[in-house]
Amino acid sequence: MLLRFLLLYCFCLPLAFASNNLPDLGAPDLKDYDSHTETQLGQAFSTALHTHYDLVYDPIMLSYIRRIGEKITSETGKNRNFSFFIIDNPEINAFAGPNGVIGIHTGLIASAQSEDELASVIAHEVAHVTQRHLSRTFEYQSNVNTASIASLIAAILIGSQDPSAGIATYMGAMGLNIQQQLKNSRIYESEADYFGIKYLNQAGYSPYAMGEFFGRLSKEMQIYEGTPPEILLTHPVTANRLAKANDRAAQLKTESQLLKSDSLTLVQLRLNFVTKTQTQTYNTKTLSSSETCYLNNLKNLSDQGLSRPQYDLSCLKAASEQNPKERLYKLLLAKIKTETGDSSALQDYEYLTAVYPSDFSIVYLYAKSLISFNRTQEAIQLLTQKTPKFHYQYLLYSELSKLYAEKNQNDYSYYYDALANYNIGNLPKSTFLVNQAEKITKNKKSKLYQKIIQLKNELDKISQKQQRNQPS
Protein backbone atom coordinates (compact mmCIF):
# COMPACT_ATOMS: atom_id res chain seq x y z
CA MET A 1 0.00 0.00 0.00
CA LEU A 2 1.12 3.55 -0.69
CA LEU A 3 1.28 4.60 2.94
CA ARG A 4 3.57 1.76 3.94
CA PHE A 5 5.68 2.28 0.80
CA LEU A 6 6.23 5.94 1.63
CA LEU A 7 7.04 5.21 5.26
CA LEU A 8 9.61 2.61 4.33
CA TYR A 9 11.03 4.84 1.64
CA CYS A 10 11.24 8.08 3.61
CA PHE A 11 12.31 6.98 7.09
CA CYS A 12 13.01 3.28 7.35
CA LEU A 13 16.55 3.14 5.97
CA PRO A 14 19.88 2.31 7.69
CA LEU A 15 21.39 4.89 10.01
CA ALA A 16 24.73 5.93 11.45
CA PHE A 17 25.33 8.43 14.22
CA ALA A 18 26.90 11.80 13.35
CA SER A 19 28.77 14.21 15.57
CA ASN A 20 27.24 15.33 18.84
CA ASN A 21 27.69 18.92 17.66
CA LEU A 22 24.82 18.69 15.20
CA PRO A 23 23.29 21.88 13.85
CA ASP A 24 19.53 22.29 13.83
CA LEU A 25 19.11 21.23 10.22
CA GLY A 26 15.42 21.85 10.50
CA ALA A 27 16.01 25.59 10.84
CA PRO A 28 13.63 27.93 8.96
CA ASP A 29 16.30 29.11 6.51
CA LEU A 30 16.37 25.70 4.84
CA LYS A 31 14.26 25.14 1.75
CA ASP A 32 11.24 22.92 2.15
CA TYR A 33 7.68 22.68 0.96
CA ASP A 34 5.26 25.29 2.26
CA SER A 35 2.92 24.87 5.20
CA HIS A 36 -0.12 24.45 2.96
CA THR A 37 1.49 21.53 1.16
CA GLU A 38 2.46 19.93 4.46
CA THR A 39 -1.08 20.32 5.76
CA GLN A 40 -2.47 18.76 2.60
CA LEU A 41 -0.04 15.86 2.81
CA GLY A 42 -0.89 15.34 6.47
CA GLN A 43 -4.61 15.24 5.70
CA ALA A 44 -4.10 12.66 2.97
CA PHE A 45 -1.80 10.66 5.24
CA SER A 46 -4.27 10.68 8.14
CA THR A 47 -7.14 9.72 5.83
CA ALA A 48 -5.11 6.80 4.49
CA LEU A 49 -4.42 5.63 8.04
CA HIS A 50 -8.11 5.64 8.95
CA THR A 51 -9.14 4.10 5.63
CA HIS A 52 -6.57 1.40 4.98
CA TYR A 53 -5.12 0.44 8.36
CA ASP A 54 -6.39 -1.26 11.51
CA LEU A 55 -6.35 1.51 14.08
CA VAL A 56 -6.96 0.97 17.78
CA TYR A 57 -9.83 3.20 18.89
CA ASP A 58 -9.79 2.24 22.57
CA PRO A 59 -10.08 5.70 24.15
CA ILE A 60 -8.06 4.81 27.26
CA MET A 61 -5.08 3.56 25.26
CA LEU A 62 -5.26 6.50 22.86
CA SER A 63 -5.40 8.97 25.73
CA TYR A 64 -2.37 7.38 27.38
CA ILE A 65 -0.24 7.53 24.23
CA ARG A 66 -1.28 11.11 23.56
CA ARG A 67 -0.41 12.19 27.09
CA ILE A 68 3.13 10.91 26.56
CA GLY A 69 3.25 12.55 23.15
CA GLU A 70 2.05 15.89 24.51
CA LYS A 71 4.68 15.86 27.26
CA ILE A 72 7.36 15.46 24.60
CA THR A 73 5.99 17.84 21.98
CA SER A 74 5.56 20.57 24.58
CA GLU A 75 9.37 20.63 24.84
CA THR A 76 10.09 21.01 21.12
CA GLY A 77 9.50 24.74 20.92
CA LYS A 78 7.65 24.15 17.65
CA ASN A 79 4.25 25.72 17.08
CA ARG A 80 2.51 22.80 15.41
CA ASN A 81 -0.17 20.26 16.16
CA PHE A 82 0.82 16.61 16.43
CA SER A 83 -1.57 13.69 16.04
CA PHE A 84 -0.84 10.32 17.67
CA PHE A 85 -2.46 7.10 16.49
CA ILE A 86 -2.14 3.44 17.50
CA ILE A 87 -1.81 0.82 14.75
CA ASP A 88 -3.05 -2.69 15.52
CA ASN A 89 0.16 -4.41 14.46
CA PRO A 90 2.25 -6.78 16.63
CA GLU A 91 5.52 -5.65 15.00
CA ILE A 92 7.70 -3.49 17.25
CA ASN A 93 7.77 -0.24 15.32
CA ALA A 94 6.63 3.37 15.01
CA PHE A 95 6.66 5.99 12.25
CA ALA A 96 6.35 9.70 11.53
CA GLY A 97 4.34 11.12 8.65
CA PRO A 98 3.79 14.63 7.29
CA ASN A 99 2.30 17.43 9.40
CA GLY A 100 3.00 15.77 12.74
CA VAL A 101 1.16 12.47 12.23
CA ILE A 102 2.79 9.84 14.49
CA GLY A 103 1.89 6.14 14.40
CA ILE A 104 2.66 3.71 17.23
CA HIS A 105 2.35 -0.05 16.75
CA THR A 106 0.71 -2.10 19.49
CA GLY A 107 3.81 -4.33 19.35
CA LEU A 108 5.92 -1.41 20.51
CA ILE A 109 3.60 -0.73 23.44
CA ALA A 110 3.71 -4.40 24.42
CA SER A 111 7.52 -4.62 24.25
CA ALA A 112 8.37 -1.54 26.31
CA GLN A 113 9.54 -2.29 29.85
CA SER A 114 8.95 1.23 31.11
CA GLU A 115 7.17 4.41 30.11
CA ASP A 116 10.62 5.94 29.55
CA GLU A 117 11.37 3.35 26.84
CA LEU A 118 8.06 3.92 25.09
CA ALA A 119 8.53 7.68 25.34
CA SER A 120 12.02 7.42 23.84
CA VAL A 121 10.69 5.98 20.57
CA ILE A 122 7.90 8.56 20.46
CA ALA A 123 10.51 11.30 21.00
CA HIS A 124 12.58 9.90 18.12
CA GLU A 125 9.59 10.08 15.77
CA VAL A 126 8.66 13.57 16.98
CA ALA A 127 12.19 14.67 16.14
CA HIS A 128 11.72 13.40 12.57
CA VAL A 129 8.88 15.93 12.31
CA THR A 130 10.55 18.88 14.03
CA GLN A 131 13.65 18.49 11.86
CA ARG A 132 11.49 18.46 8.70
CA HIS A 133 12.99 15.23 7.42
CA LEU A 134 10.16 14.40 5.03
CA SER A 135 10.19 17.95 3.69
CA ARG A 136 13.95 17.86 3.18
CA THR A 137 13.66 14.51 1.42
CA PHE A 138 11.25 16.15 -1.01
CA GLU A 139 13.64 19.08 -1.47
CA TYR A 140 16.51 16.73 -2.34
CA GLN A 141 14.31 14.88 -4.80
CA SER A 142 13.34 18.12 -6.50
CA ASN A 143 17.04 18.99 -6.88
CA VAL A 144 17.77 15.63 -8.49
CA ASN A 145 14.70 15.60 -10.68
CA THR A 146 12.36 18.56 -10.88
CA ALA A 147 9.40 16.23 -11.46
CA SER A 148 10.05 14.18 -8.33
CA ILE A 149 8.51 16.42 -5.67
CA ALA A 150 5.42 17.11 -7.75
CA SER A 151 5.01 13.43 -8.57
CA LEU A 152 5.42 12.35 -4.93
CA ILE A 153 2.85 14.86 -3.70
CA ALA A 154 0.48 13.78 -6.47
CA ALA A 155 1.12 10.13 -5.56
CA ILE A 156 0.09 10.68 -1.95
CA LEU A 157 -3.02 12.61 -2.91
CA ILE A 158 -4.04 10.12 -5.57
CA GLY A 159 -3.07 7.27 -3.27
CA SER A 160 -5.43 8.45 -0.55
CA GLN A 161 -8.17 7.32 -2.93
CA ASP A 162 -6.33 4.57 -4.84
CA PRO A 163 -3.03 3.38 -3.32
CA SER A 164 -1.97 1.38 -6.37
CA ALA A 165 -2.49 4.39 -8.59
CA GLY A 166 -0.40 6.48 -6.22
CA ILE A 167 2.51 4.06 -6.38
CA ALA A 168 2.29 3.96 -10.18
CA THR A 169 2.34 7.76 -10.36
CA TYR A 170 5.33 7.98 -8.07
CA MET A 171 7.40 5.20 -9.59
CA GLY A 172 6.67 6.45 -13.10
CA ALA A 173 8.39 9.77 -12.43
CA MET A 174 11.21 8.70 -10.11
CA GLY A 175 14.75 9.54 -11.07
CA LEU A 176 16.55 9.33 -7.74
CA ASN A 177 20.17 8.65 -6.78
CA ILE A 178 19.67 5.84 -4.27
CA GLN A 179 23.14 6.08 -2.72
CA GLN A 180 22.69 9.78 -1.97
CA GLN A 181 19.24 9.07 -0.54
CA LEU A 182 20.72 6.45 1.80
CA LYS A 183 23.28 8.98 2.95
CA ASN A 184 20.58 11.55 3.62
CA SER A 185 18.46 9.07 5.57
CA ARG A 186 21.39 8.14 7.82
CA ILE A 187 21.83 11.80 8.68
CA TYR A 188 18.10 12.13 9.38
CA GLU A 189 18.09 9.11 11.70
CA SER A 190 21.10 10.49 13.53
CA GLU A 191 19.38 13.83 14.00
CA ALA A 192 16.18 12.14 15.19
CA ASP A 193 18.14 10.32 17.91
CA TYR A 194 20.06 13.47 18.85
CA PHE A 195 17.06 15.76 19.23
CA GLY A 196 14.79 12.98 20.45
CA ILE A 197 17.06 12.39 23.46
CA LYS A 198 16.98 16.12 24.15
CA TYR A 199 13.15 16.22 24.09
CA LEU A 200 13.00 13.08 26.20
CA ASN A 201 15.15 14.60 28.91
CA GLN A 202 13.31 17.92 28.92
CA ALA A 203 9.98 16.11 29.28
CA GLY A 204 11.21 14.49 32.49
CA TYR A 205 12.05 11.04 31.13
CA SER A 206 15.39 9.28 31.36
CA PRO A 207 17.68 10.43 28.50
CA TYR A 208 19.32 6.98 28.62
CA ALA A 209 16.06 5.20 27.77
CA MET A 210 16.53 5.33 24.00
CA GLY A 211 19.93 3.61 24.09
CA GLU A 212 18.70 1.12 26.70
CA PHE A 213 15.64 0.17 24.66
CA PHE A 214 17.45 -0.40 21.38
CA GLY A 215 20.33 -2.12 23.17
CA ARG A 216 17.98 -4.54 24.91
CA LEU A 217 16.16 -5.39 21.68
CA SER A 218 19.49 -5.97 19.94
CA LYS A 219 20.67 -8.35 22.68
CA GLU A 220 17.39 -10.26 22.61
CA MET A 221 17.72 -10.64 18.85
CA GLN A 222 21.18 -12.15 19.29
CA ILE A 223 20.03 -14.57 21.98
CA TYR A 224 16.85 -15.75 20.28
CA GLU A 225 17.14 -16.90 16.69
CA GLY A 226 14.53 -15.75 14.24
CA THR A 227 13.42 -12.65 12.38
CA PRO A 228 14.52 -9.49 14.19
CA PRO A 229 11.89 -6.93 15.26
CA GLU A 230 10.87 -4.59 12.47
CA ILE A 231 12.20 -1.60 14.37
CA LEU A 232 15.72 -3.10 14.23
CA LEU A 233 15.41 -3.56 10.48
CA THR A 234 14.40 0.06 10.05
CA HIS A 235 16.69 1.40 12.81
CA PRO A 236 19.78 -0.89 12.81
CA VAL A 237 21.63 -0.94 16.13
CA THR A 238 25.40 -0.65 16.13
CA ALA A 239 27.89 -0.32 18.98
CA ASN A 240 28.63 3.16 17.66
CA ARG A 241 24.99 4.17 17.81
CA LEU A 242 24.54 2.96 21.39
CA ALA A 243 27.78 4.65 22.48
CA LYS A 244 26.72 7.94 20.91
CA ALA A 245 23.29 7.72 22.51
CA ASN A 246 24.76 7.17 25.98
CA ASP A 247 27.32 9.92 25.39
CA ARG A 248 24.56 12.32 24.35
CA ALA A 249 22.50 11.43 27.45
CA ALA A 250 25.53 11.90 29.73
CA GLN A 251 26.11 15.41 28.37
CA LEU A 252 22.63 16.57 29.29
CA LYS A 253 21.73 18.10 32.58
CA THR A 254 19.06 15.73 33.79
CA GLU A 255 15.79 17.55 34.27
CA SER A 256 13.73 17.07 37.41
CA GLN A 257 11.93 13.84 36.72
CA LEU A 258 8.17 13.87 36.37
CA LEU A 259 6.15 11.70 38.71
CA LYS A 260 5.30 9.01 36.17
CA SER A 261 2.44 6.61 36.80
CA ASP A 262 2.36 2.85 36.38
CA SER A 263 -0.16 3.21 33.56
CA LEU A 264 2.01 1.33 31.05
CA THR A 265 1.40 -2.06 32.71
CA LEU A 266 -2.34 -1.45 32.83
CA VAL A 267 -2.36 -0.33 29.19
CA GLN A 268 -0.39 -3.45 28.23
CA LEU A 269 -3.00 -5.57 30.04
CA ARG A 270 -5.70 -3.90 27.94
CA LEU A 271 -3.99 -4.91 24.68
CA ASN A 272 -5.39 -8.43 24.79
CA PHE A 273 -8.95 -7.18 25.10
CA VAL A 274 -9.08 -4.29 22.61
CA THR A 275 -6.88 -5.45 19.70
CA LYS A 276 -7.20 -8.15 17.06
CA THR A 277 -3.58 -9.24 16.80
CA GLN A 278 -2.10 -9.03 20.28
CA THR A 279 -1.17 -12.11 22.27
CA GLN A 280 -0.50 -12.30 26.00
CA THR A 281 2.08 -9.66 26.93
CA TYR A 282 2.29 -10.04 30.69
CA ASN A 283 3.70 -12.35 33.34
CA THR A 284 1.13 -12.76 36.07
CA LYS A 285 3.93 -13.51 38.56
CA THR A 286 5.30 -9.99 38.20
CA LEU A 287 1.96 -8.20 38.59
CA SER A 288 1.14 -6.34 41.78
CA SER A 289 -2.08 -7.11 43.60
CA SER A 290 -3.66 -3.97 42.13
CA GLU A 291 -2.61 -4.93 38.60
CA THR A 292 -3.89 -8.48 39.08
CA CYS A 293 -7.21 -7.03 40.22
CA TYR A 294 -7.32 -4.84 37.11
CA LEU A 295 -6.58 -7.83 34.86
CA ASN A 296 -9.19 -10.11 36.43
CA ASN A 297 -11.90 -7.47 36.18
CA LEU A 298 -10.94 -6.78 32.57
CA LYS A 299 -11.32 -10.49 31.80
CA ASN A 300 -14.79 -10.60 33.32
CA LEU A 301 -15.80 -7.40 31.52
CA SER A 302 -14.73 -8.76 28.16
CA ASP A 303 -16.21 -12.26 28.57
CA GLN A 304 -19.58 -11.86 26.92
CA GLY A 305 -20.34 -15.54 27.52
CA LEU A 306 -20.80 -15.04 31.24
CA SER A 307 -24.38 -14.36 32.25
CA ARG A 308 -23.25 -13.00 35.62
CA PRO A 309 -19.59 -11.89 35.52
CA GLN A 310 -17.89 -12.13 38.90
CA TYR A 311 -16.53 -8.61 39.28
CA ASP A 312 -14.42 -7.75 42.32
CA LEU A 313 -15.24 -4.11 42.98
CA SER A 314 -13.71 -4.16 46.45
CA CYS A 315 -10.21 -4.82 45.12
CA LEU A 316 -10.70 -2.15 42.44
CA LYS A 317 -11.68 0.38 45.09
CA ALA A 318 -8.63 -0.61 47.14
CA ALA A 319 -6.39 -0.30 44.07
CA SER A 320 -7.81 3.13 43.37
CA GLU A 321 -7.15 4.25 46.95
CA GLN A 322 -3.60 2.85 46.90
CA ASN A 323 -2.90 4.56 43.57
CA PRO A 324 -4.77 7.87 43.90
CA LYS A 325 -3.14 9.44 40.82
CA GLU A 326 -3.82 6.46 38.56
CA ARG A 327 -7.04 7.19 36.67
CA LEU A 328 -7.28 3.80 34.95
CA TYR A 329 -8.48 2.02 38.10
CA LYS A 330 -11.21 4.62 38.57
CA LEU A 331 -12.23 4.38 34.92
CA LEU A 332 -12.56 0.60 35.04
CA LEU A 333 -14.56 0.85 38.25
CA ALA A 334 -16.95 3.35 36.63
CA LYS A 335 -17.23 1.14 33.54
CA ILE A 336 -18.17 -1.92 35.58
CA LYS A 337 -20.69 0.09 37.59
CA THR A 338 -22.28 1.11 34.30
CA GLU A 339 -22.40 -2.50 33.13
CA THR A 340 -24.06 -3.61 36.37
CA GLY A 341 -26.63 -0.80 36.37
CA ASP A 342 -25.12 1.18 39.24
CA SER A 343 -25.91 4.81 38.39
CA SER A 344 -23.25 6.09 40.81
CA ALA A 345 -20.95 5.59 37.82
CA LEU A 346 -22.23 8.92 36.52
CA GLN A 347 -20.97 10.72 39.60
CA ASP A 348 -17.62 8.97 39.14
CA TYR A 349 -17.36 10.18 35.55
CA GLU A 350 -18.43 13.70 36.49
CA TYR A 351 -15.67 13.80 39.11
CA LEU A 352 -13.05 12.44 36.68
CA THR A 353 -14.10 14.96 34.02
CA ALA A 354 -13.49 17.78 36.48
CA VAL A 355 -10.12 16.40 37.63
CA TYR A 356 -8.86 15.60 34.11
CA PRO A 357 -10.51 18.20 31.85
CA SER A 358 -8.08 17.65 28.96
CA ASP A 359 -8.71 13.88 28.73
CA PHE A 360 -11.10 13.26 25.82
CA SER A 361 -11.46 9.58 26.75
CA ILE A 362 -13.28 10.41 30.00
CA VAL A 363 -15.82 12.57 28.17
CA TYR A 364 -16.38 9.76 25.65
CA LEU A 365 -16.84 7.12 28.38
CA TYR A 366 -19.06 9.46 30.40
CA ALA A 367 -21.31 9.90 27.35
CA LYS A 368 -21.46 6.14 26.79
CA SER A 369 -22.45 5.69 30.42
CA LEU A 370 -25.24 8.28 30.11
CA ILE A 371 -26.54 6.41 27.07
CA SER A 372 -26.57 3.16 29.06
CA PHE A 373 -28.83 4.79 31.63
CA ASN A 374 -31.20 6.08 28.89
CA ARG A 375 -30.04 9.66 29.29
CA THR A 376 -29.21 10.12 25.62
CA GLN A 377 -30.07 13.81 25.45
CA GLU A 378 -27.63 14.53 28.29
CA ALA A 379 -24.97 12.56 26.41
CA ILE A 380 -25.61 14.69 23.33
CA GLN A 381 -25.32 17.87 25.37
CA LEU A 382 -22.08 16.67 26.98
CA LEU A 383 -20.47 15.77 23.65
CA THR A 384 -21.68 18.94 21.96
CA GLN A 385 -20.25 21.10 24.74
CA LYS A 386 -16.92 19.34 25.32
CA THR A 387 -15.80 18.05 21.90
CA PRO A 388 -14.70 21.39 20.33
CA LYS A 389 -12.16 21.81 23.16
CA PHE A 390 -10.16 18.74 22.13
CA HIS A 391 -7.62 18.39 19.34
CA TYR A 392 -8.75 14.80 18.69
CA GLN A 393 -12.47 14.83 17.93
CA TYR A 394 -13.08 11.87 15.64
CA LEU A 395 -14.50 9.42 18.20
CA LEU A 396 -16.60 12.07 19.91
CA TYR A 397 -18.17 13.51 16.77
CA SER A 398 -18.71 10.02 15.37
CA GLU A 399 -20.65 9.14 18.52
CA LEU A 400 -22.74 12.31 18.18
CA SER A 401 -23.53 11.42 14.58
CA LYS A 402 -24.61 7.94 15.64
CA LEU A 403 -26.85 9.28 18.41
CA TYR A 404 -28.63 11.68 16.06
CA ALA A 405 -29.07 8.92 13.47
CA GLU A 406 -30.80 6.80 16.10
CA LYS A 407 -33.14 9.75 16.74
CA ASN A 408 -33.78 10.01 12.96
CA GLN A 409 -32.37 13.54 12.94
CA ASN A 410 -30.31 12.94 9.84
CA ASP A 411 -29.40 16.57 9.25
CA TYR A 412 -27.55 16.63 12.58
CA SER A 413 -26.15 13.16 11.93
CA TYR A 414 -24.65 14.17 8.57
CA TYR A 415 -23.25 17.38 10.03
CA TYR A 416 -21.42 15.72 12.92
CA ASP A 417 -20.19 12.91 10.68
CA ALA A 418 -18.79 15.64 8.41
CA LEU A 419 -16.98 17.17 11.40
CA ALA A 420 -15.59 13.77 12.38
CA ASN A 421 -14.13 13.23 8.92
CA TYR A 422 -12.88 16.81 8.76
CA ASN A 423 -10.92 16.14 11.96
CA ILE A 424 -9.02 13.22 10.39
CA GLY A 425 -8.38 15.05 7.12
CA ASN A 426 -10.91 13.20 4.96
CA LEU A 427 -12.07 16.35 3.19
CA PRO A 428 -13.84 14.70 0.21
CA LYS A 429 -16.05 12.66 2.53
CA SER A 430 -16.59 15.65 4.81
CA THR A 431 -17.69 17.74 1.81
CA PHE A 432 -20.12 15.06 0.66
CA LEU A 433 -21.66 14.76 4.12
CA VAL A 434 -22.03 18.50 4.71
CA ASN A 435 -23.73 18.84 1.31
CA GLN A 436 -26.16 16.10 2.32
CA ALA A 437 -26.84 17.92 5.58
CA GLU A 438 -27.54 21.14 3.71
CA LYS A 439 -30.00 19.44 1.35
CA ILE A 440 -32.17 17.88 4.04
CA THR A 441 -32.15 20.71 6.62
CA LYS A 442 -35.62 22.22 6.43
CA ASN A 443 -35.19 25.24 8.69
CA LYS A 444 -32.82 27.54 6.80
CA LYS A 445 -32.77 30.00 9.71
CA SER A 446 -31.71 27.49 12.38
CA LYS A 447 -28.35 27.51 14.17
CA LEU A 448 -27.66 24.07 12.69
CA TYR A 449 -28.07 25.40 9.15
CA GLN A 450 -25.73 28.30 9.90
CA LYS A 451 -23.10 25.84 11.17
CA ILE A 452 -23.55 23.68 8.08
CA ILE A 453 -23.00 26.64 5.77
CA GLN A 454 -19.99 27.75 7.81
CA LEU A 455 -18.38 24.31 7.49
CA LYS A 456 -19.28 24.11 3.80
CA ASN A 457 -17.66 27.50 3.12
CA GLU A 458 -14.54 26.45 4.99
CA LEU A 459 -14.28 23.26 2.95
CA ASP A 460 -14.84 25.21 -0.27
CA LYS A 461 -11.99 27.58 0.60
CA ILE A 462 -9.66 24.67 1.30
CA SER A 463 -10.64 23.01 -1.99
CA GLN A 464 -10.02 26.20 -3.97
CA LYS A 465 -6.63 26.67 -2.32
CA GLN A 466 -5.66 23.09 -3.07
CA GLN A 467 -6.60 23.52 -6.71
CA ARG A 468 -4.44 26.65 -6.96
CA ASN A 469 -1.49 24.82 -5.42
CA GLN A 470 -1.94 21.52 -7.26
CA PRO A 471 1.35 20.45 -8.87
CA SER A 472 1.22 20.70 -12.65
Q: What are the residue numbers of the active site?
A: 125, 193
Strand, helix or coil for residue 57: coil
Return d(Cα 349, Cα 407) in angstroms, integer: 25
SS3 content of the chain, % helix, strand, coil (to 5): 65, 5, 30
CA distances from 267 to 36, 273, 308 (A): 36, 10, 25
- Check residue 284 and report its DSSP letter: G
Report how far residue 59's alpha carbon sits from residue 366's, in angstroms, rounded to the nearest whole number. 12
Dist. CA 376–CA 182, nearest whole Å: 55
Q: Please, what's the b/e burial string for 193-202 (b: 16 or more CB within 10 A of its CB; e: otherwise)? A: bbbbbbbbbb
Handedness of CA 442, 446, 447, 452 (dihedral sign): positive
| CA distances from residue 173 to 133, 140, 154, 467 in whole angstroms, order as listed | 21, 15, 11, 21
Chain Cα centroid distance, residue 252: 28
